[in-house]
């Protein structure tokens, strides 16, 4: 009975809890008190301001020491404070001196709402602040507050540009508070990285931090480790990083040799035709050979039987990879070709993902498709998802303009609550009703007409497109209409700051791919703001969306570029029944919609279909996220156990102790011959090699296991249960096998005062390593295959299957 009641209570809590219901009243009271101290603090010298901040640091340290002493005597930690570290009085003092420091060092005096956001961050919440409301400054002050509490702080951005910009921009205010700031980017040397992570606050792109964590896992000397233990993380664009990027694995690979392109299969699949030889499912996640396609491939390969025992495990796989690259990965949508290389496009940001690639076979297939040199291949040495990386931190907080639509995911996966910070000035932007059309052609004609009309008025227009190909197609249509425009997409993203800075200028039309993570506000009148008054009179920035996104958050992020800080502006979205969102998530419903002679869809039913398709897309995305985390959470736990053992081997004499226990006589002889330090070092190198080698083998095993585990569902078994049933026993053998191998090597290896030559013993570490991101399960996991059922549950749609087809992703 108790279990039933608890379960009912949990369901009711999930049904009625508002994840954005963080009470701001305590923070407002603290900020109001700080406002009363403003005049006094304004009279302080810079030195006194720094001394006051140092006084807060000392007070917190003494309080911690007292708490630790109290716990040692059986006391209990004080509970119920408004802030977990600062008292209310200390938090008020911090707000006062932080505001003054920002004003003096940056010329930016935080509004009360920014300080409320700062306190919400210091309380471990994700704050929602509208575009242009000063999230960067609020985050910097929160980072300084954590640093004064004796915490190590990592501020994570979505790219290197923003990490460096924010660090250099905010550093003067932090220095005035006695807090040091560092930053890392792709070009930072190991020494620069180590120095940056030693600072009180470190700014970094989330990928760079992850890669540093992975590289540290290969260090054989404790002094080579660059990233200190995780403590506090503040995530900028939190919904993008914690939700959209959460399941993306960051990979550390070791050189195996030159990649090989399957030119034969590339030539074969080029002959195949969609609809006759192969079919693509409505989600464009999987591609299938038809009977005619199978016969054509078998004929082209000399009459083989693709599904014979001889070819099903090799030849068919090669065909599937080449067909996937040919049919599902599109130039200027999924990737671009630049500087002789295939560069992937981050779908959620419309920018080139410089460090992203597909698994080796698929990467080579795309390169062969484009006639390019094949990049180097390698073995995966370690990998970690963004979600697992962030989950390492005891304290997580973040900031974004669109947290509430992601509240469920943020709470479910991170137990993060949302604090919605009101704007300093009310938003007066007008969001016009969607303009819906039957065909894409009718929609694009209407878009060009809308842009032309606004351009004729002299208003700046920002056009948000879905991909590179659409941005260039629309630019060509505007050119035909004699409307000049500037295009910002993955092909010229290096110029984005300059392009966005002038997007608010008179008569400027900017056509861009995804705006999330661009990091630059659009100021009316252009970068110098001289023409602001004129643009205000005209009605401000007009934002035009060329299609509804798979998530309401992305729609809101685009809309939020207009109406910043009380500016006028408006937004309107155009959509058609031929858009991918409808084709994938509500195709049958769209077929029943009627249009007028201009191709426009009218009536409430049309809007309901588009809203419904978006809800289905969000539900599908959430279920994929859930399923991915169910698998990777086990791997993350196992990685943590291996990391603990590795750290112990790296920083203690554990390896030497184990060698002495297994081979006491040899250990004693070596100690007498070359000294205890030399023996300890050699034993450490041997033990670390075998532990790393076994972990890499385990990752390869798990990858193969996950690729095939969905077949268990055919036997009415739960794939996740079966994955755990196989993965857990396999992991139990790792530490034991690594120790056994280390003992064998210690017994037979040549160990001198110069150490041990692992290469000579046949234990060669990778000669080179590199890092990249991959699209998790690009061929579709069991989660992707289950999505048809999920979509049927959420959206009531079904997919008809061809009479006979072979799945290219199995």
Q: Which residues are annotated as a binding site?
A: 114, 132-136, 521
Helices 719-748/676-708 angle, 10° precision = 150
Q: Which helix (H) or strand (E) holds 45?
A: none
Helix segments in 17-107, DSSP class H: 25-36, 38-42, 46-72, 88-106
List the one residue out of 386, 290, 340, 343 whose CA is nearest residue 625: 386
In whole angstroms, how large is the CA radius of gyration of the chain?
29
Sign of CA dihedral 155, 159, 164, 166: negative
Q: What is the CB-side half-sphere exposure of residue 397 using CA atoms within 13 A?
A: 23
Spatial distance between the Cα atoms of 230 and 391, rounded to a whole number of angstroms: 10
Instruction: End-to-end CA distance of the chain: give it in Å, rounded.
Output: 45
* CA dihedral of residues 198, 203, 208, 214 (deg, nearest 10): 40
Spatial distance between the Cα atoms of 705 and 727, rounded to a whole number of angstroms: 8
DSSP 522: -
3-state helix, strand, coil in the chain (%, to 5): 55, 15, 35
Neighbours of 245 (CB within 10 A): 23
For 473, counting Cβ atoms within 10 Å of its Cβ (0-12 exposed, 13-18 middle, 19+ buried), the class is middle
Spatial distance between the Cα atoms of 221 and 52, rounded to a whole number of angstroms: 40
Identify whether the C-beta of residue 489 lies closer than 8 Å to the C-beta of residue 333: no
List the one residue out of 296, 294, 330, 325 whose CA is nearest residue 312: 294
Spatial distance between the Cα atoms of 19 and 598, rounded to a whole number of angstroms: 43
What are the phi and psi torsion angles at 227 (to 5°)? -95, 125
List the beta bridge partners of residue 752: 755
Spatial distance between the Cα atoms of 520 and 497, rounded to a whole number of angstroms: 6
Residue set of the binding site for ATP = 114, 132-136, 521
Helix segments in 149-189, DSSP class H: 160-176
Do strands 232-236 and 395-400 pair parallel, antiparallel, or not at all (unpaired)? parallel
């Amino acid at each position: 009975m108790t279990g039933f009641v608890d379960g009912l209570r949990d369901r009711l809590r999930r049904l009625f809890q508002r994840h954005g219901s963080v009470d701001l009243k305590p923070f407002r009271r603290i900020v109001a008190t700080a406002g009363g101290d403003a005049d006094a603090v304004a009279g302080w010298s810079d030195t006194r301001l720094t001394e006051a901040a140092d006084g807060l640091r000392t007070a917190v340290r003494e309080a911690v020491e007292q708490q630790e002493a109290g716990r040692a005597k059986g006391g209990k930690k004080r509970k119920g404070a408004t802030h977990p570290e600062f008292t209310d009085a200390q938090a008020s003092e911090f707000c006062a001196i932080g505001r003054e420091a920002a004003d003096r060092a940056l010329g930016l005096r935080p509004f009360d709402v920014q300080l409320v956001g700062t306190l919400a961050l210091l309380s471990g919440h994700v704050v929602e602040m509208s575009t242009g409301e000063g999230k960067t400054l609020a985050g910097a002050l929160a980072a300084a507050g954590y640093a004064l509490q004796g915490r190590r702080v990592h501020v994570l951005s979505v790219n290197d540009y923003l990490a460096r910009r924010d660090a250099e921009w905010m550093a003067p205010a932090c220095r005035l508070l006695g807090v040091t700031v560092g930053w890392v980017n792709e070009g930072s040397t190991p020494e620069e990285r180590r120095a940056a992570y030693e600072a009180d606050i470190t700014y970094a792109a989330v990928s760079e931090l992850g890669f540093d964590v992975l590289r540290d896992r290969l260090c054989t000397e404790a002094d080579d480790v660059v990233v200190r233990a995780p403590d506090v993380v503040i995530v900028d664009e939190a919904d993008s990083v914690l939700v959209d990027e959460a399941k993306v694995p960051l990979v550390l690979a070791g050189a195996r040799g030159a990649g090989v392109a399957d030119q034969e299969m590339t030539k074969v699949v080029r002959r195949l035709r969609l609809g006759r030889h192969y079919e693509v499912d409505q989600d464009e996640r999987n591609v299938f050979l038809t009977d005619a396609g199978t016969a054509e491939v078998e004929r082209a390969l000399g009459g083989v039987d693709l599904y014979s025992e001889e070819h099903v495990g090799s030849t068919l796989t090669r065909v599937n990879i080449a067909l996937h690259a040919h049919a599902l990965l599109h130039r200027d949508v999924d990737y671009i070709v630049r500087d002789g290389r295939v560069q992937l496009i981050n779908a959620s940001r419309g920018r080139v993902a410089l460090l992203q690639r597909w698994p080796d076979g698929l990467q080579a297939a795309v390169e062969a498709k484009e006639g390019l040199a094949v990049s180097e291949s390698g073995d995966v040495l370690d990998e970690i998802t963004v979600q697992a990386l962030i989950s390492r931190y005891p304290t997580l907080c973040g900031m974004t303009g669109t947290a509430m639509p992601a509240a469920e995911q943020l709470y479910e996966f991170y137990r993060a609550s949302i604090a919605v910070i009101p704007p300093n000035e009310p938003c007066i932007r007008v969001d016009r009703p969607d303009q819906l059309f039957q065909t894409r052609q009718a929609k694009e004609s209407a878009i060009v007409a809308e842009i032309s009309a606004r351009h004729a008025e002299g208003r700046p227009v920002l056009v948000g497109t879905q991909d590179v190909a659409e941005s260039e197609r629309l630019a060509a249509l505007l050119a035909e209409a004699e409307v000049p425009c500037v295009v910002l997409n993955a092909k010229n993203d290096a110029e984005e700051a300059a392009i966005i800075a002038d997007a608010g200028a008179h008569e400027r039309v900017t056509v861009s791919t995804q705006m999330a993570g661009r990091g630059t506000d659009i100021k009316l009148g252009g970068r110098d703001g001289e023409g602001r008054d004129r643009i205000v009179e005209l009605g401000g920035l007009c934002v035009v969306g060329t299609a509804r996104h798979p998530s309401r958050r992305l729609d809101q992020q685009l809309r939020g570029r207009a109406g910043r800080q009380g500016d006028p502006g408006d937004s309107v979205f155009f959509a058609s029944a031929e858009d991918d969102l409808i084709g994938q998530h509500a195709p049958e419903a769209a077929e029943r919609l009627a249009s007028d002679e201009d191709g426009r869809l009218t009536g409430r039913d049309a809007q309901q279909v588009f809203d419904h398709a978006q809800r289905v897309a969000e539900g599908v995305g959430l279920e994929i996220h859930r399923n991915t985390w169910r698998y990777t959470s086990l791997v993350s736990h196992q990685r943590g156990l291996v990391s603990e053992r590795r750290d112990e081997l790296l920083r203690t004499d554990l390896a030497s102790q184990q060698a002495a226990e297994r081979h006491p006589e040899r250990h004693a002889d070596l100690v007498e011959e070359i000294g205890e330090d030399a023996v300890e070092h050699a034993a450490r190198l041997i033990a670390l090699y075998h532990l790393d080698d076994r972990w890499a083998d385990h990752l390869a095993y798990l990858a193969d296991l996950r690729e095939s585990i969905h077949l268990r569902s055919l036997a009415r078994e739960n794939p996740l249960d079966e994955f755990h049933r196989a993965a857990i026993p396999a992991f139990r053998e790792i530490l034991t096998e690594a120790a056994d191998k280390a003992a064998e090597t210690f017994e037979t290896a040549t160990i001198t005062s110069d150490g041990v030559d692992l290469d000579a013993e046949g234990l060669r570490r990778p000669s080179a390593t590199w890092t990249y991101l991959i699209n998790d399960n690009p061929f579709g996991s069991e989660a992707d295959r289950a999505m048809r059922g999920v979509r049927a549950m959420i959206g009531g749609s079904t997919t008809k299957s061809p009479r006979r087809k072979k799945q290219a992703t199995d």
